[in-house]
């Protein structure tokens, strides 16, 4: 039953789930894109037959065991019911273990049944046995208990909402909104603290959302719930970096290479075609190079533009020729971007102001015309030290290693230096503790700028609210590795994985990420700083690059990271300028943001007085989001096709 899907589950606090079934079925349709192959809605009773405890609904995209493994999936004579979104790559091995050790019986050939069987025999410890990406919910009819879990790094999403009626869980927030808005409308329903965080970070940090009351289960967390109780969320996995000196570098490089190779092999398990994204960087190129060892005919997909300096197509095509694989390119222009943005923002649920969403949308659309599954390179930078900003602690060491009194004096000097003068930023950052200066890759609006932009600026809401608990867990690590740890809990799951999941599923395409594998992390976690970022070099991910010598084309091994660049800076001064003005002028978000301030930023950018493209983009994406989800003045143009409905209303004894 390996399956991507959109799941929606309701657990009644009163045993009257039947009264909510039709509403759940209606809300499910906004998740059709996540699973167009099959629709299921089931009413579930407790073991005694006295209560209608739950409604399980799903949209299925079948990948393995296509003909069977319909969801929701029962186990142990109907005691348990499972709905599952994801892939368990070691399901064959776990299945054999469960049969050998417990005599477990299986009615399907898929991986979902392994989860629920594992829960039956191992309990909550089943989570630690799984290798893959997953968000699932299990209902135990005998104990009247819900149990759900999310994968190690937050690849697959799981949202929840508690009301007086009970507990709702869903793959995407939009499926919960019909049940969340009974007590408030419009801007009153917006979480303004998370709006402030969005304007700083360019995404809404977990576990919150921009809608009050709707939350996300975090990466490596599980939940439990029983009627009459409240949801309890606990963490079952925390990634632990343990860098240590390496006595034999070649042995380490061999281990990195072979672990990656095995992860790619596992991630290619599928009964449907598997392709891969391919950019100009080492991450996706490495995935393709290793994947072709198991499928020499693998199709690859790349995207670019006609704007000089921004397109990766030529380099990707060179890599494809070197690896002897086919790559299918897609080019997009400003008109494509403007037309697609409402759809993209609708799929996101919450705004993410990463321009790379747009090329990803189009390359995923092209890939979905040819395959059902693609491999991608997310996670390599966070695991292996791939961001240039990770070198900052090394470059600032001459200042931040000075005595406190000297640093205080230099801080005063930095304040006296005029803005824009060389050396000011260096002294400011060098005399600012890491916990205050680093909060991720994206830095949009400063606190001073947000005072101008936000109508109701709250100085008590700071980005340190998000990062302080994460820093508190990593005090024993060096500064570079602490930055990686912060990114695992902020940038990776707030930006990178949100766009990977939502934008691929927008096209009913499954993205698999071999770098974001627990075995790969265990190897990456022990690499010392000097082998991630050599002190006498500007290289990043050094150990990984060394490990991939001879695997990826020589031109790619030491190629600098481009980060999926998009020409929004150019287009906002030209083809997209009038469109941007129109979005700001017609937005209904003026009670939350001073849009005249944003308009001034746009005009200064147009006149090339400054590069405000990222700040303007952040406001534009929020305005589009507000028009769709709050003001409801913008129809994103989503087609809502329906799949075959498999409905089995079950109250009381449930056997299928």
Q: What pLDDT does residue 199 have? A: 98
* Whole-number average pLDDT of the chain: 91
Tokens found for residue 149: 């879990």
Is the pLDDT score of 577 beyond 90? yes
Q: What pLDDT does residue 181 have? A: 67
How far apart CA 614 and CA 618 sit, in angstroms, is 6
Share of the chain above pLDDT 70, in %: 94
Give pLDDT tens digits for 540-573: 999 999 999 999 999 999 887 666 678 999 999 9
Give pLDDT tens digits for 460-518: 999 999 999 999 999 999 999 999 999 999 999 999 999 999 999 999 999 999 999 99
Strands (E), 69-165: 73-75, 80-88, 132-140, 145-150, 159-162
| Mean of pLDDT values over 35-45 | 87
| Mean of pLDDT values over 418-426 | 77
Is the pLDDT score of 585 beyond 80? yes
* Yes or no: domain 3-237 corresponds to CATH 3.40.640.10: no
Task: Identify the residue with better confidence: 223 or 421.
Answer: 223
| Mean of pLDDT values over 34-52 | 86
Q: What pLDDT does residue 4 have? A: 56
Q: What pLDDT does residue 562 have? A: 65
Q: Are strands 73-75 and 80-88 parallel, antiparallel or unpaired?
A: antiparallel
How far apart CA 651 and CA 654 sit, in angstroms, is 7
How far apart CA 66 and CA 480 sit, in angstroms, is 45
| Mean of pLDDT values over 529-550 | 94
Share of the chain above pLDDT 90, in %: 78
Is the pLDDT score of 627 beyond 80? yes
Catalytic residue among 5, 28, 231, 332: 5
Q: What pLDDT does residue 418 have? A: 81
**Binding site for L-glutamine: what residues are annotated?**
111
Kindly tell me the burial class for residue 530, based on how many C-beta atoms sit within 10 Å of its own C-beta (0-12, 13-18, 19 or more). Answer: middle
Give bridge partners of residue 135 from the DSSP assignment: 85, 150
If you compute the radius of gyration of the chain from its CA atoms, what whole number of angstroms results? 25
Provide φ and ψ at 248, rounded to 5°.
-135, 95
CATH number of 249-303+313-324+353-386+489-557: 3.40.50.620
Is the pLDDT score of 290 beyond 90? yes
Q: What pLDDT does residue 655 have? A: 30
How far apart CA 607 and CA 616 sit, in angstroms, is 14
Q: What pLDDT does residue 1 have? A: 39
**Binding site: what residues are annotated?**
111, 303, 376-377
| Mean of pLDDT values over 447-451 | 96
How far apart CA 102 and CA 409 sit, in angstroms, is 68
511 HSE (CA, 13 A, CB side): 31
Give pLDDT tens digits for 322-351: 999 999 999 999 999 999 999 999 999 999
Q: What pLDDT does residue 294 have? A: 96
Listed in sequence order, the residues at least 6 apart from 185 whose beta carbon sits closer than 8 Å to its beta carbon are none
How far apart CA 607 and CA 17 sit, in angstroms, is 59
Listed ranges 33-47, 174-188, 481-495, 642-656; the one with the highest mean pLDDT: 481-495
Please spell the DSSP secondary structure of 171-222, one letter per residue: SSGGGTHHHH-SS--GGGGB-HHHHHHHHHHSSPPTT--SBTTEEEPPTTEE
**Binding site for ATP: what residues are annotated?**
303, 376-377
Question: Residue ranges per domain, the chain?
Answer: 3-237, 249-303+313-324+353-386+489-557, 391-446+462-479, 568-629
Is 5 an active-site residue? Answer: yes
629 HSE (CA, 13 A, CB side): 31
How far apart CA 534 and CA 180 sit, in angstroms, is 50
Tokens found for residue 589: 């978000």
């Amino acid at each position: 039953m390996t399956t991507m899907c959109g799941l929606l589950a309701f657990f009644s606090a009163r045993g009257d789930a039947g009264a909510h079934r039709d509403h759940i079925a209606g809300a499910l349709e906004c998740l059709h894109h996540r699973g167009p192959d099959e629709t299921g809605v089931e009413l579930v009773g407790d073991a005694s037959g006295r209560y209608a405890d739950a409604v399980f609904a799903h949209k299925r995209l079948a990948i393995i065991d296509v003909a069977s493994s319909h969801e929701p999936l029962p186990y142990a004579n109907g005691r348990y019911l499972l709905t599952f979104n994801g892939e368990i790559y070691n399901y064959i091995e776990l299945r054999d273990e469960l049969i050998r050790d417990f005599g477990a019986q299986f009615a399907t050939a898929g991986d979902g049944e392994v989860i629920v069987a594992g829960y039956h025999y191992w309990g909550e410890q089943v989570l630690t046995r799984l290798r893959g990406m997953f968000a699932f919910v299990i209902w135990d009819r005998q104990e009247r208990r819900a149990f759900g879990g999310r994968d190690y790094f937050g690849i697959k999403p799981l949202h929840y909402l508690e009301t007086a009626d009970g507990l709702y869980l869903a793959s995407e927030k939009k499926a919960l909104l019909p049940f969340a808005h009974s007590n408030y409308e419009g801007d009153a329903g917006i979480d303004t603290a998370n709006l402030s965080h969005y304007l700083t970070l360019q995404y809404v940090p977990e576990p919150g959302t921009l809608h009050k009351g709707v939350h996300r289960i975090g990466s490596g967390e599980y939940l439990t719930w029983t009627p009459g109780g409240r949801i309890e969320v606990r963490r079952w996995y925390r990634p632990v970096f343990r860098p240590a000196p390496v006595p034999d570098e070649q042995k380490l490089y061999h281990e990195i290479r072979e672990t990656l190779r095995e992860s790619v092999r596992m991630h290619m398990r599928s009964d449907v075609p598997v392709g891969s994204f391919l950019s100009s960087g080492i991450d996706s190129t490495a995935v393709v190079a290793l994947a072709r060892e198991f499928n020499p005919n693998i199709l690859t997909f790349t995207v670019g533009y006609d704007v000089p300096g921004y397109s990766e197509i030529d380099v990707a095509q060179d890599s494809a020729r070197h690896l002897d694989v086919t790559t299918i390119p897609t080019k997009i222009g400003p008109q494509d971007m403007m037309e697609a943005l409402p759809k993209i923002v609708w799929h996101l649920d919450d705004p993410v102001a990463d321009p790379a969403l747009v090329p990803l949308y189009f390359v995923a659309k092209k890939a979905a015309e040819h395959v059902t599954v693609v491999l991608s390179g997310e996670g390599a930078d966070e695991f292996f030290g791939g961001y240039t900003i990770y070198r900052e602690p090394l470059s600032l060491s001459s200042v931040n290693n000075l005595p406190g009194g000297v640093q205080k004096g230099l801080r005063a000097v930095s304040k006296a230096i005029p803005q824009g003068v060389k050396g000011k930023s260096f002294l400011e950052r060098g005399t600012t503790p890491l916990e205050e200066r680093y909060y991720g890759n994206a830095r949009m609006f400063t606190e001073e700028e947000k005072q101008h932009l936000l109508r109701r600026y709250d100085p008590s809401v700071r980005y340190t609210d998000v990062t302080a608990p994460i820093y508190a867990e990593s005090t024993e690590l060096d500064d570079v590795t602490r930055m990686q740890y912060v990114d695992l809990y902020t940038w990776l799951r707030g930006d990178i994985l949100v766009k990977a999941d939502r934008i691929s599923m927008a096209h009913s395409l499954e993205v698999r990420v071999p770098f974001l594998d627990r075995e790969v992390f265990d190897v990456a976690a022990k690499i010392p700083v000097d082998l991630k970022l050599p002190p006498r070099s500007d290289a990043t991910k050094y150990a990984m690059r060394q490990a991939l010598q001879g695997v990826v084309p020589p031109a790619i091994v030491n190629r600098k990271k481009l980060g999926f660049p998009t020409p929004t800076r150019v287009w906002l001064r030209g083809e997209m300028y009038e469109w941007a003005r129109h979005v700001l002028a017609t937005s209904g978000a003026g009670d939350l943001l001073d849009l005249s301030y944003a308009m001034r930023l746009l005009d200064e950018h147009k006149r090339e007085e400054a590069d405000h493209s990222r700040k303007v983009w952040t406001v534009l994406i929020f305005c589009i989001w507000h028009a769709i989800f709050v003001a409801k003045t913008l129809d994103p143009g989503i087609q809502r096709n329906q799949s075959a409905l498999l409905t089995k209303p079950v109250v009381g004894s449930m056997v299928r």
